[in-house]
Amino acid sequence: MKLNNTQKLRLYIFKSNKHIYANLIDDNKQKVITSSSTISRNIKNKIKSAKNCATAEIVGQNIGLKLKELGIKEIIFDRGKNLYHGQVKAIAEAAREEGIIF
């Protein structure tokens, strides 16, 4: 899914069989600006299971905090081929609680 909005950055969610990843991508420069996942050092110590809704919520909070530190308030949420349900929804709601608008 290619998004053609030149002003907003895109938060892309990817789920593998074991882990959850949230990447902030600048499509103009084709670069990943920041990311958060279940294999990140600061999250790995907080979680018990690598893939569930509680873990996804921690990843969402972490990416929300990183976006606030960068001064980014509005993004495009790209869930890829995943349904807006379960872990994807948990990431989105946790990022919204941190003040990110999408």
Cα–Cα dist 55/52, whole Å: 5
Cα–Cα dist 6/11, whole Å: 14
Cα–Cα dist 100/63, whole Å: 10
- Considering the domain 9-97 in this protein, what is its CATH number? 3.30.420.100
Task: Indicate the domain borders of the chain.
Answer: 9-97
For 15-72, how does the pLDDT look when each residue is reduced to its tens digit (9 = 90+)?
Answer: 999 999 999 999 999 999 999 999 998 898 888 877 899 999 999 999 999 999 999 9
Cα–Cα dist 25/11, whole Å: 6
Which of 84 and 46 is assigned the larger pLDDT? 84
Q: What are phi and psi of 27, to 5 degrees?
A: -70, -25
This prediction has a pTM of 0.88
What is the predicted pLDDT for the residue at 44? 87
- Contact (Cβ atoms closer than 8 angstroms) between residue 49 and residue 58: no
For 15-29, how does the pLDDT look when each residue is reduced to its tens digit (9 = 90+)?
Answer: 999 999 999 999 999
Cα–Cα dist 94/90, whole Å: 6
Q: Rg of the chain over CA atoms, in angstroms?
A: 13
What is the predicted pLDDT for the residue at 71? 94
